[in-house]
Amino acid sequence: MDFEAARIKMVDNQIRTTDVTSHAILRAFLQVPREEFVPASRKPLAYIDEDVPLGDGRYVMEPSPFAKLLQLVGVRPDDVVLDVGCGTGYSAAILSHLASSVVALEEDADLASAASETLARLEYVTCAVVEGPLKEGYPSEAPYDVIVFEGAVEDLPTTFFDQLREGGRMVVVEGVGNAAEARLYVKDDEGVVSQRFGFNCSIKPLPGFARKQTFVF
């Protein structure tokens, strides 16, 4: 299979057509070999316009919503980014083309190991894979200029606002299914956080962020 041709078609037919106009983002998607970050049996499906399953409910997010989220948050060349739920490392590789450095957080030991191996083999030297509970973030390397979530959340822990640098931005899809919304959070120089709606976005959830059930008597 001609993966380079498939990569070009992905960018032209899936990403550009959803109003992603950032040249830096388009270049990043053209440069990262997505096929290297999916299971061997699914390499022929690496560039389809769908999530690529990794097992146990995890996946590599389909290209279009991921690109739109990156455009919304506006990653800059000098940013330090926390990538929450990096899976096998594809998202971190994309982010490494946009930012100064990437802390790629993953709680699944097998996925974290795969991400570390692939990123090292492909010489993505500005990415560091760390293992720990996704819902806790990674405070030891905070604060971050940008925080990105690789899946939808229902309940967004306040610890992520604490880990955001003043002037930093965080993009997250909040909600479930077709009712979910991509939102941009911005922390100003006085530590006050504001938010705005980006676009409707239906993506699969990340583990550990479900809203606790309440009982009505």
Per residue in 94-153, pLDDT (tens digit) is 999 999 999 999 999 999 999 999 999 999 999 999 999 999 999 999 999 999 999 999
Q: What is the structure's pLDDT at 144?
A: 98
pTM of the model: 0.95
pLDDT of residue 58: 94
Q: In the predicted model, is pLDDT for residue 216 greater than 70?
A: no
Mean pLDDT (the chain) is 95
> Residue 65: what pLDDT?
97
| 41-45-50-56 Cα dihedral, nearest 10 degrees | 0
Whole-number percent of the chain with pLDDT over 70 = 98
Is the model's pLDDT at 211 over the cut of 80? no
Q: In this model, does residue 217 exceed pLDDT 70?
A: no
Q: Which CATH architecture has domain 3-200?
A: 3-Layer(aba) Sandwich (3.40)
